[in-house]
Amino acid sequence: MSSRYLHTMVRVHDLEASLKFYRDGLGLIETHRMDSEKGRFTLVYLSAPHDEADARANRAPELELTYNWPDADGNAETYSGGRNFGHLAYQVDDIYALCQHLSDMGVVINRPPRDGHMAFVRSPDNISIEFLQKGDALPPQEPWASAPNIGEW
């Protein structure tokens, strides 16, 4: 029996804030979207740039953002992180440049890339995101080498 990774689904509270983070911050590309009037939800599928062709052709590998619409009274469902969900991980070309870009956007770098290899941030919905440097670790450099951890990651 064989299997193929399709997507990871993350429920989000604010679709626009999440798209700003994943699309504008991380550089993910929206491959398709579905609005369900009857189900009262929106699904947005995103891929990493290197996976875009596969995602468009095969609908995999992708990140699915699920936004459940508020009820008729404007009440939205509250989500909390489950302990069974660890983190999303992305390989990046330049971990320092990405962390600086996100920091400039106001994103807290919870686990800075002190080692030139790994960093963690949190999405607007408190999902832990891991970044791993493509290839060998970059040489340590400031301000990251001496930056402390902030909060949980």
Catalytic center residues = 130
Cβ-Cβ contacts under 8 Å for 23 (sequence gap 6 or more): 29, 30, 46
DSSP single-letter state for residue 40: T
Q: What angle do CA 32, 153, 80 make, to 5 degrees?
A: 65
Can you tell me whether residue 18 is helix, strand or coil? helix
